[in-house]
C-alpha cells in the first residue's frame, strides 16, 4: 500500500550513478573485454595474454612493478607502526593533530612536484652527490638515481604517510583502559603492543597497505622521474604501447593484467579485514 | 483560530515484523488538550508522528476536522508539530524562525515581520528577534518553537515531549504556561509525554498507552480516581494493590473480603465469589488505633511535604500511607491500625 | 607506558622522517633563488629571476589558467553531484545501497593509470577526441568518492527533526533541503570544494591521458621535466607546493572546526 506522505528521495544518486556507470564501470569492462580481442581477427581469444607472457620485456616490467609495490609496502609498514605508536601514545592530544598534519600535509601537494624535487636531490649533480664528493673524493659518482631503488624510495615516502595515517586512525581509537588492563595483568610495553594494540590497529594497516600497494603497482610519475626508462615498470610500458605503437588491445591487456594483479594481491588482505572488525 | 478535531480510526503501525501500534480509535475534541501518556516504547510518539504525517500509517485513517489526511504530506495537513529538541534552524534568527511557516505560505515580508513581532511580544521575547537560537536559554527556545508552530494558526498543535529537555523547576513553570497558552489560543493540543505529573497538570483528557494500545482514556480526575487496570493505577500516582473475594454488590460499590484490611467497600462491580484486586491510593488509608485491620510498619520515609509509611499487611501485601506533617510517626517494627473509608478502594478490571 | 628512552628514539624517528620528507622541497625552495643552473653550494648569487620567468612564460600562465578553470569546474560538479548522492544515501531507501556505495567509492581503490587508460580507450571507441572537458570528466570520477564521503558524514550528523520541522511548516521536500540542509553543511561544502580542487589541480595522469594539446600546469611541468632541466621549475615547484599546501590546510581546518 503506497501511502507515502513523505517522498523517498532516492533520485539524488542518479547523476553519480550515470557518471560512474558510463565513465568508470563501462570503460573498465570494455577495456577488459578488449584485451580478449586481437587486431584484425574476429572473436575472442587469449592471444594477447600469450603474447604478453611470451614477451620478456613485458613480464619483466610486471615483475618490477610487483617488486616495487611490495618493497614500498614493506618499508611503509616498518616505519608506519613506530610512527603511529609515537603519535598515538607518546604525544599529548593537542600536539597530536598538529604533528600528524605536519607529517601528512605534503600528501595534498602535487605528486609530480615532489618526485621532481627528489630527482634533483638524488641526481649526481645534486646535493647528495655534491656532498658525497666533498666527503669521500672528487671522483665518486652517486648513481642512485634512475634505478628501481630510487623509485622505491620515492614511493616509499608516500607509503609512509598513507600507512601511518591509517594505522594511527585505528590506534587512536583504542581504549586506553585495555592497555592499563594489560599492565595490571603483568604485561610489559611489548606485550601491550602484541596483545592489545596490534590486533586492534590491524584493520587500519590492512587498508593502508592495500591502498599503498594499489598506488605503487600502477604508478607512472615516480618510476619515470626517479627510475629512468631503461628498466621500465608496467605503467611505463602501458604508456608506450598506448601512445607509441598505438596497439589498443595490447594496452587493454596490460591494463587487465594490472587489474588481475591487484585483485590477487589485495583480495586476501581485504578478507583479513572481514575477519577483524572494521570501522570506517 | 479555528480549532479542529482529530479522529483516528483503526490506526496502526508496524515496522517490519514489529507492531508498534495496534489498530486504535481515538476522538480528540476541538480545543481540547489531550495527552498521550505512557512509558517509552508504548507507541505514543509513533501515533503523534502519524497524525503529523512524518510516519506512514500501516492501516487506518486519520481525519483532521472533516478532512481525511491519511496520505497527505506533512506540509499540507492543518497540523503543526513542536519537537522535543525544538528543531530551531540554527542559522536563522529568532524572527526568521518564527516567520518561516508564513514564508512557505508566500506571505510578503512586511506581513511576516509584523506577525513575528506580534508573537515575540506574546511569548515575552520582544527585542530578541535578531538573535540566533544558540544565544537563547532552553526555556526561551521552547517558547520560540511554540510561536513558530502557532503562527500558522493550525487546527491542531502536536507536541512531542514538550518539557522533556528542561530541568524540574523550569518544567513546572512551563507546564503552567503551556496550559495558559492553550486557554489563550483555544487550539486543539495533542501532547506526548511519559511524565504523569505533567500529563495531569496540563491536560483536559489523558490517553494512557501501553504496548501500542490505549489502555484507558479519560480526564485526569477520572483516571486517577478510577483506574481500570493495575498498569494505569500504578502509572499515575502511587498505589498499593490488595487481593480479596467479592461478597455482594451494593449499588455502585462492591463489598470485598480482603485478608489485608478485612471487609472493604470498593468502587466497581464484580460477581459475588470472584477473586478481585483493589487499588488503594496512599491518601485513602489513615491510621486508626481503634481499627480492626492491623499492619506492620516496615519503613518511614520523609518526602518533603509528608512522611510516607511503608507497611506490610497481614497477608503480606505491601501498603503505602502518607502522613501529614505534624502527625506523630509510628516506630518501625510496630503494629498500627488502618482505616479505609467506604469507596476509597477501586476495583481493578484486570 | 613507553619508556623514556624509547620515547626519545621514536621522537627522533618521527622528526627524522619529517625532515626527509620536507628536505627536497626545502632544497628546491632554496635553489629557486640561486642564479646557478645546478644545485651547487655555496650559492653564487641570489635572484628572483626564475620567479619572474614563471610569470612571463606564456605557457606556464596558460597552464595555470587551464588548471584553475578545470579544477574549479571539476570541484563544482563533484561537490554538487556528491551532495545529491550523499543526501540520498543518508535519507532514502533503495535496493542495492551497499553495492552502489561500493561503486561510488571504487575509484579510490583503482590506480589512476587504469582509469585513464580505460577512459582513453573507451572514448576513442566512441569517437570522442581527447580534450580538456574529457579530462574533466575523468577527474570528477577521481574526486567524487572524497566528496561523497565528506558530505555523507556531515549530513548524517544533522538532526532529522530540523528537516521535519520545515516540512511541518509547509516547506516542500526540495525547499527544506535548501533552507535547512544546505546552510548546515556550508562549512563541509566549502571544505569539500577546496579539497576536490586541490586534488584536481595537482592531478597529472588523467589529464595527460585525456588531452592532446590543451595543457594543464602539471602536464606543462612534466613536459619541461622530461625534455630538459630548466631552473624555472624550482621556482614554479615551490609556488605550486605552497599553493596546494595552503588549500589543504584551509580545507582541513574547515572540516575540523567544532560544529554547533
Q: What cell numbers appear for A6 in the block?
A: 513523505
Q: What is the residue whose three cell numbers read 496540563?
A: B202
Q: Look at residues B196, C251, C218, B338 and name the one whose alpha carbon lies nearest to residue A220.
A: C218
Residues of chain B with pLDDT > 70, as a percent, come to: 99
Minimal Cβ distance to A116: which of C85, C111, C225? C225
Same domain for B50 and B184: yes
> Would you state the pLDDT for residue B116?
93
Buried b / exposed e across B90-112, counting CB within 10 Å, b at 16+? Answer: bbbbbbbbbbbbbbbeeeeeeeb
Q: What is the pLDDT of residue A275?
A: 64
Based on the fold, state whether residues B224 and B343 are members of the same structural domain. no
pLDDT at residue B260, as a whole number = 83
- Which chains form contacts with chain A, at 3 or more CB pairs under 8 Å? B, C
Q: Are B95 and B182 in a shared domain?
A: yes
In a shared domain, residues B154 and B255? no
Q: Are residues C35 and C74 in the same domain?
A: no
Helices (H), chain B: 44-52, 94-105, 109-122, 138-150, 168-185, 196-202, 220-225, 230-235
Same domain, B199 and B270: no
**For the segment C123-151, what is each residue's pLDDT rounded down to a tens digit?**
888 888 888 888 999 999 999 998 999 89
- Inspect the interface and report whether the beta carbons of B54 and C179 lie closer than 8 Å: no
Q: Give, as one character, the DSSP assignment of residue B184.
A: H
Give pLDDT, residue A1.
33
Instruction: Using 50 as the pLDDT threshold, list the residues of chain C that sit under it.
Output: 259-260
Q: Does A9 touch chain B (CB under 8 A)?
A: no
What is the nearest CA distance from A176 to chain C, expressed in angstroms?
11
Q: Which residues of A touch B74 (CB under 8 A)?
A: 5-6
Beta strand B335-339 with B188-193: parallel, antiparallel or unpaired? unpaired
Q: State how far the Cα of C256 lies from the Cα of C194, in Å rounded to an integer.
A: 14
Domain range for B288: 238-347
Radius of gyration of chain A (CA): 24
Task: Give contacts of B146 with chain C, Cβ < 8 Å.
Answer: none
Percent of chain C at pLDDT exceeding 90: 26
Tell me the C-alpha to C-alpha distance, in Å, between residue B196 and each of B138, B233, B346. 22, 11, 19
C159 is a domain residue: yes
Q: Per-residue pLDDT tens for B295-323?
A: 888 888 888 888 888 888 888 888 888 88
- Portion 179-198 of A in contact with C at CB < 8 A: 179, 183, 189, 192
Q: Is the pLDDT of residue A146 over 90?
A: no
Chain centroid to Cα A117, Å, comes to: 20
DSSP state string for C195-246: HHHHHHHH--HHHHHH-SSS--HHHHHHHHHHH---THHHHHHHHHHHHHHH
Residue B196 lies in a domain: yes
Compute the average pLDDT of residues A38-50: 76
Whole-number percent of chain A with pLDDT over 70: 93
Instruction: Please say if the pLDDT value at position A277 is more than 70.
Output: no
- Asked if C183's CB is within 8 angstroms of B152's CB, the reply is no
Put simply, the answer to whether A113 touches C221 (Cβ < 8 Å) is yes
**Which helix H or strand E contains B25, and what residues bound it?**
strand B18-28
CB contact under 8 A, B72 and A5: yes
CB contact (8 A) between residue A3 and residue B71: yes
pLDDT in tens, B118-148: 999 988 899 999 999 999 988 888 889 999 9
Q: Final residue of a domain: which of B177, B195, B228?
A: B228
DSSP state of B221: H
Same domain, C35 and C157: no
Please tell me if residue B149 touches chain C, with a CB cutoff of 8 Å.
Answer: yes
Name which of C114, C182, C201, C256 to mutate to probe chain A: the one with the most chain A Cβ atoms within 10 A of its Cβ. Answer: C114
| Structure ipTM | 0.82
Region class of B60: left (phi > 0), else alpha (psi between -120 and 50), else beta:
left
- B50 three-class SS: helix
- Please report, for the domain that includes residue C244, its CATH number: 1.10.3720.10
Q: Are B212 and B249 in the same domain?
A: no
Residue A3 lies in a domain: no
CATH, residue A234: 1.10.3720.10
Domain count, chain C: 2
Closest CA to A67 of A225, A256, A265: A265
**Optimal mutation site among B48, B54, B145, interface C, most CBs of chain C within 10 A:** B54
**From CA C253, how far away is CA C230, in angstroms rounded?**
35
CB contact C258 to B (< 8 Å): no
Please indicate if any CB of chain B lies within 8 Å of the CB of A3.
Answer: yes
Backbone angles phi, psi at B78, to 5 degrees: -85, 40
Q: How many domains does chain B have?
A: 2
Q: Match 546552510 to its residue by C-alpha cell.
A: C183
| Helix residue spans in chain C (DSSP H) | 4-31, 49-56, 58-91, 97-105, 112-126, 132-157, 160-168, 173-176, 182-184, 186-202, 205-210, 217-227, 232-256
Residue C164 lies in a domain: yes
CA atoms within 13 A on the CB side of A77: 18
User: Nearest CA of chain C to the CA of B86: how many Å?
Assistant: 8
- Residue C186 covered by a domain: yes
Q: How far is Cα A109 from Cα C244, in angstroms, rounded to an integer?
A: 5
- Cα-based distances in Å from A254 to A130, A250, C106, C116: 40, 6, 20, 13
Alpha-helix residue ranges (DSSP H) falling in B9-63: 44-52
Considering the domain architecture, whether residues B221 and B290 belong to the same structural domain is answered as no
Mean per-residue pLDDT of chain B: 89
Same domain, C36 and C125: no
Say if residue B76 is in the same domain as residue B200.
yes
Name which of A26-30, A154-158, B74-78, C50-54 the model is least confident about: C50-54
Domain co-membership, C167 together with C147: yes
pTM of the model: 0.81
Residue A4's pLDDT is what? Answer: 53
What domain count does chain A have? 1
Question: Are C243 and C200 part of one and the same domain?
Answer: yes
Residues B217 and B277 grouped into a single domain: no
Same-domain status, C83 and C28: no
Q: What is the model's pLDDT at position B118?
A: 93
Kindly indicate the confidence band of residue A140, based on its pLDDT and cuts at 50, 70 and 90.
Answer: low
d(CA B76, CA B152): 12
Among B300, B303, B306, B297, smallest CA distance to B324 is for B306
Claim to verify: residue C111 and residue C233 sit in the same structural domain = yes
**Residue B9 pairs with which residues in a beta bridge?**
B61
Contact B71 A6 (CB under 8 A): no
Model confidence pLDDT, tens digit, residues A238-267: 888 877 777 778 888 888 888 888 888 888
More confident of the two residues B164 and A259: A259
| Assigned domain for B233 exists | no
Full DSSP string of A40-84: T--S--SHHHHHHHH-HHHHHHHHHHHHHHHHHHHHHHHHHHHHH
Residue A229: is its pLDDT beyond 70?
yes
Q: How many helices (H) and strands (E) does chain A have?
A: 14, 0
Longest CA span, chain A: 87
Please indicate, yes or no, if residue C107 is contained in any of the structural domains: yes
Q: What is the dihedral of CA B249, B255, B256, B258, to 10 degrees?
A: -170
- B1 lies in some domain: no
Beta bridge partners of B213: B210
B75 → closest Cβ in C161, C170, C260: C170
- Residue B45, pLDDT > 50, answer yes
- Mean pLDDT over residues A201-205, rounded? 87
The answer to whether residues C40 and C99 belong to one domain is: no
* C8 inside domain: no
For A55, the domain range is: 23-275
Question: What range defines the domain where residue C172 resides?
Answer: 58-256
Please indicate, yes or no, whether residues B16 and B60 belong to a single structural domain of this protein.
yes
What percentage of residues in chain B have a pLDDT greater than 90? 37
Give the residue on A whose Cα is nearest the Cα of C29.
A117
Same domain, C36 and C152: no
Residues in chain C closer than 8 A to B73 (CB atoms): 167
B249 and B195 co-located in one domain? no
Angle at C121 between CA C117 and CA C123, to 5 degrees: 115
Q: For residue B272, how many other CB atoms are within 10 A of its CB?
A: 11
Amino acid at each position: 500500500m503506497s501511502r507515502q506522505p513523505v517522498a523517498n528521495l532516492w533520485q539524488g544518486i542518479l547523476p553519480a550513478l550515470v557518471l560512474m556507470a558510463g565513465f568508470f564501470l563501462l570503460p573498465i569492462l570494455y577495456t577488459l573485454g578488449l584485451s580478449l580481442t586481437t587486431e584484425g581477427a574476429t572473436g575472442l581469444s587469449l592471444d594477447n595474454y600469450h603474447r604478453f607472457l611470451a614477451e620478456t620485456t613485458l613480464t619483466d616490467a610486471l615483475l618490477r612493478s610487483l617488486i616495487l609495490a611490495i618493497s614500498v609496502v614493506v618499508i611503509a609498514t616498518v616505519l608506519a607502526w613506530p610512527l603511529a605508536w609515537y603519535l598515538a601514545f607518546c604525544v599529548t592530544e593537542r600536539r597530536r593533530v598538529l604533528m600528524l598534519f605536519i607529517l601528512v600535509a605534503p600528501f595534498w601537494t602535487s605528486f609530480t612536484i615532489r618526485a621532481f624535487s627528489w630527482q634533483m636531490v638524488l641526481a649526481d649533480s645534486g646535493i647528495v652527490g655534491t656532498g658525497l664528493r666533498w666527503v669521500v673524493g672528487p671522483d665518486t659518482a652517486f648513481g642512485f638515481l634512475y634505478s628501481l631503488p630510487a623509485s622505491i624510495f620515492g614511493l616509499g615516502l608516500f607509503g609512509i604517510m598513507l600507512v601511518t595515517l591509517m594505522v594511527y586512525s585505528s590506534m587512536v581509537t583504542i581504549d586506553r583502559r585495555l592497555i592499563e588492563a594489560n599492565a595490571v595483568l603483568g604485561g610489559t610495553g611489548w606485550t601491550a603492543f602484541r596483545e592489545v594494540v596490534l590486533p586492534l590497529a590491524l584493520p587500519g594497516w590492512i587498508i593502508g597497505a592495500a591502498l599503498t600497494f594499489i598506488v605503487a603497482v600502477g604508478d607512472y610519475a615516480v618510476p619515470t622521474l626517479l627510475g629512468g626508462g631503461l628498466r621500465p615498470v608496467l605503467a611505463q610500458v602501458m604508456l608506450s604501447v598506448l601512445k607509441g605503437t598505438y596497439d589498443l588491445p595490447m594496452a587493454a591487456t596490460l591494463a587487465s593484467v594490472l587489474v588481475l594483479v591487484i585483485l590477487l594481491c589485495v583480495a586476501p588482505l581485504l578478507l583479513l579485514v572481514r575477519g577483524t572488525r572494521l570501522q570506517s | 483560530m479555528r480549532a479542529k478535531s482529530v479522529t483516528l480510526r483503526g490506526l496502526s503501525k508496524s515496522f517490519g515484523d514489529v507492531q508498534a501500534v495496534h489498530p486504535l480509535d481515538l476522538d480528540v475534541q476541538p480545543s481540547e488538550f489531550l495527552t498521550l501518556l505512557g512509558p517509552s516504547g508504548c507507541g505514543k510518539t509513533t501515533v503523534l508522528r502519524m497524525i503529523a504525517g512524518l510516519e506512514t500509517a500501516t492501516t487506518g485513517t486519520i481525519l483532521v476536522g472533516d478532512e481525511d489526511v491519511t496520505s497527505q504530506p506533512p506540509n499540507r495537513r492543518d497540523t503543526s508539530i513542536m519537537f522535543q529538541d525544538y528543531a530551531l534552524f540554527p542559522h536563522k534568527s529568532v524572527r526568521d524562525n518564527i516567520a518561516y511557516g508564513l514564508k512557505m505560505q508566500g506571505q510578503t515580508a512586511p506581513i511576516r515581520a509584523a506577525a513575528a513581532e506580534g508573537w515575540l511580544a506574546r511569548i515575552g521575547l520582544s527585542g530578541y528577534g535578531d538573535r540566533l537560537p544558540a544565544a537563547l536559554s532552553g526555556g526561551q527556545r521552547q517558547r520560540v518553537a511554540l510561536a513558530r508552530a502557532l503562527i500558522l494558526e493550525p487546527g491542531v498543535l502536536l507536541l512531542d515531549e514538550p518539557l522533556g529537555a528542561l530541568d524540574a523547576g523550569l518544567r513546572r513553570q512551563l507546564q503552567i504556561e503551556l496550559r495558559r497558552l492553550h486557554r489563550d489560543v483555544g487550539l486543539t493540543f495533542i501532547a506526548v509525554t511519559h511524565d504523569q505529573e505533567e500529563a495531569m497538570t496540563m491536560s483536559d483528557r489523558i490517553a494512557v498507552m501501553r504496548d501500542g494500545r490505549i489502555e484507558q482514556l479519560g480526564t485526569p480526575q477520572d483516571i486517577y480516581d478510577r483506574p481500570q487496570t493495575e498498569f494505569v493505577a500504578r502509572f499515575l500516582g502511587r498505589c498499593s494493590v490488595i487481593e480479596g473475594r467479592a461478597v455482594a454488590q451494593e449499588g455502585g460499590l462492591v463489598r470485598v473480603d480482603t485478608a489485608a484490611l478485612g471487609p472493604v467497600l470498593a468502587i466497581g462491580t464484580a460477581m459475588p465469589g470472584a477473586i478481585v484486586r483493589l487499588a488503594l491510593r496512599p491518601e485513602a488509608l489513615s491510621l486508626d488505633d481503634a481499627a480492626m485491620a492491623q499492619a506492620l510498619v516496615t519503613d518511614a520515609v520523609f518526602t518533603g511535604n509528608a512522611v510516607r509509611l511503608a507497611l506490610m499487611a497481614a497477608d503480606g501485601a505491601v501498603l503505602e500511607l502518607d502522613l501529614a506533617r505534624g502527625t506523630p510517626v509510628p516506630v518501625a517494627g510496630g503494629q498500627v491500625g488502618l482505616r479505609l473509608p467506604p469507596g476509597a478502594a477501586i476495583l481493578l478490571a484486570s | 607506558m613507553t619508556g623514556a628512552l624509547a620515547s626519545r628514539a621514536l621522537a627522533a624517528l618521527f622528526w627524522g622522517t619529517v625532515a626527509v620528507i620536507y628536505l627536497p622541497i626545502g632544497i628546491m625552495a632554496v635553489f629557486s633563488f640561486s642564479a646557478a643552473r645546478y644545485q651547487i653550494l655555496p650559492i653564487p648569487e641570489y635572484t628572483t629571476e626564475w620567479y619572474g620567468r614563471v610569470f612571463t612564460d606564456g605557457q606556464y600562465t596558460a597552464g595555470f589558467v587551464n588548471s584553475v578553470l578545470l579544477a574549479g569546474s571539476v570541484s563544482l560538479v563533484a561537490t554538487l553531484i556528491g551532495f545529491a548522492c550523499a543526501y540520498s544515501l543518508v535519507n532514502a531507501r533503495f535496493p542495492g545501497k551497499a553495492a552502489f556505495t561500493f561503486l561510488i567509492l571504487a575509484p579510490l581503490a583503482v590506480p589512476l593509470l587504469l582509469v585513464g587508460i580505460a577512459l582513453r580507450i573507451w572514448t576513442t571507441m566512441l569517437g570522442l577526441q581527447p580534450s580538456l572537458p574529457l579530462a574533466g570528466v575523468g577527474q570528477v570520477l577521481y574526486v567524487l568518492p572524497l566528496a561523497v564521503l565528506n558530505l555523507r558524514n556531515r549530513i548524517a550528523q544533522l538532526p532529522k527533526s530540523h528537516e521535519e520541522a520545515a516540512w511541518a511548516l509547509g516547506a516542500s521536500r526540495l525547499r527544506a533541503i535548501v533552507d535547512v540542509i544546505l546552510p548546515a553543511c556550508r562549512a563541509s561544502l566549502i571544505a569539500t570544494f577546496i579539497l576536490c580542487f586541490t586534488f584536481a589541480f595537482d592531478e597529472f595522469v588523467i589529464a595527460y591521458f585525456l588531452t592532446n594539446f590543451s595543457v594543464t600546469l602539471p602536464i606543462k611541468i612534466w613536459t619541461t621535466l622530461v625534455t630538459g632541466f630548466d631552473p624555472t621549475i624550482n621556482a614554479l615547484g615551490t609556488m605550486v607546493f605552497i599553493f596546494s599546501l595552503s588549500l589543504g590546510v584551509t580545507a582541513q581546518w574547515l572540516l575540523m572546526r567544532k560544529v554547533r
